[in-house]
Amino acid sequence: MIPRLIAMVALVLLGRTASGQSPDQLFQQGNQMYQQGRLEDARSLYESIVAMGYGSGQLFYNLGNTYYRSGEIARAILSYERALRYMPQDDDIRHNLQLANLLITDRIEPTPRLFFLEFWDDLKDALSLRSTTWLAYLAYLLLLASLTLLVLGRTYVWKKIGMISAVVSLFLFACGLILFAAKLADFTEEHEAIVMEAVVTVKNSPDAGSSDAFVLHSGVKVEIIDSVSGWIEIRLADGKVGWIELSTVERI
């Protein structure tokens, strides 16, 4: 994901692709083709933008729609999941992702989690990376203003106000940094993936000859917890763990 971000910055600075068209122009062309029902042409343009390293919530959402309408459900789910990283509270993305998940074979019920972990995940999902960046920045500015008031305040009242606001803003700034770091890790670390193969046999160890653990089908979301020589150890939402070949999934 980090190389994609670097490439995206380069595209913004250059403003043009090798063909003389900016990613925005290609995106608009793809939208026009999508509206005309030319799904393959639209998908081709969207994928070319992604291949250049550019990404956005709307781009992946539109790409997911082309896959969904073409019956490629696993790739639709992958695109919707990527879109949610940019726009975590978008109702359209979440709705289409739910519809796509209804079409896959496996029904995996998540295990109950501790309430504070659920709260933490809900808090992260409620904010985008941009929002957490702004929150941390505003808290930082408030901290600077409070320290200035504390130092330069000419009366005891103003100094006390500055001290109290400095303590509060320092707490908010620390919370903002923690939340920003967590969101940045979720955004850049590719620790989740979607199964792309029609049928995948999960093994008990990273070896094709090891015993079978269970079977998965395309479209299932997995968490990657380890990797060894072309194999990855995965964990499902219900807590099941096993090993599959890296080539059978695509990272979100």
Q: What is the CATH number of the domain that holds 240?
A: 2.30.30.40
* Helix, strand, coil percent values for the chain (each to nearest 5): 60, 15, 25
Q: Show Cβ contacts of residue 168 under 8 Å, excluding neighbours closer than 6 positions.
A: 146
Percent over 70 (pLDDT), the chain: 91
The reported pLDDT for the residue numbered 185 is 78
Residue 187 CB coordination number (10 Å):
15
- What is the domain-level CATH number for residue 53? 1.25.40.10
Q: Show Cβ contacts of residue 134 under 8 Å, excluding neighbours closer than 6 positions.
A: none
Confidence band, pLDDT 50/70/90 cuts, at residue 19: low
Pick the range with the lowest mean pLDDT from 28-42, 57-71, 96-110, 127-141.
127-141
Backbone angles phi, psi at 61, to 5 degrees: -65, -50
- Assess whether pLDDT exceeds 80 at residue 18: no
Higher pLDDT, 113 or 24: 24
181 with 199, same domain: the answer is no
23 with 93, same domain: the answer is yes
Q: Show Cβ contacts of residue 226 under 8 Å, excluding neighbours closer than 6 positions.
A: 232, 233
Total residue count of the chain as it appears in this document = 252
The reported pLDDT for the residue numbered 14 is 38
> How many domains does the structure of the chain reveal?
3
DSSP class of 30? H
Has residue 109 been placed in a domain? no
Distances 230 to 133, 241, 242 between C-alpha atoms, Å = 36, 17, 14
In the listed set 70, 101, 132, which residue is the last one of a domain according to the structure?
101
Token code pair at residue 41: 């042409």
CB 220 within 8 A of CB 106: yes
Token code pair at residue 132: 């957490």
Has residue 232 been placed in a domain? yes
The reported pLDDT for the residue numbered 124 is 80
pTM score, whole prediction: 0.73
Residue 146 CB coordination number (10 Å):
20
51 with 87, same domain: the answer is yes
CB 106 within 8 A of CB 75: no
Domain that holds residue 130: 115-187
Pick the range with the lowest mean pLDDT from 39-53, 107-121, 146-160.
107-121
- Assess whether pLDDT exceeds 50 at residue 9: no
Question: What is the pLDDT of the chain when averaged over all its residues?
Answer: 88
Give ∠ CA 208-210-216 in degrees, rounded to 5. 70
Has residue 108 been placed in a domain? no
DSSP-assigned beta bridge partners for residue 203? 212, 243
The reported pLDDT for the residue numbered 88 is 86
Token code pair at residue 226: 């380890």
Percent over 90 (pLDDT), the chain: 69
140 with 174, same domain: the answer is yes
Strands 241-245, 249-251: pairing is unpaired
Q: What pLDDT, in 10s, does the model give residues 118-174?
A: 787 778 877 878 888 998 999 999 999 999 998 998 898 999 999 999 999 999 999
The reported pLDDT for the residue numbered 166 is 93
Residue keyed to tokens 């653990």: 213
49 with 6, same domain: the answer is yes
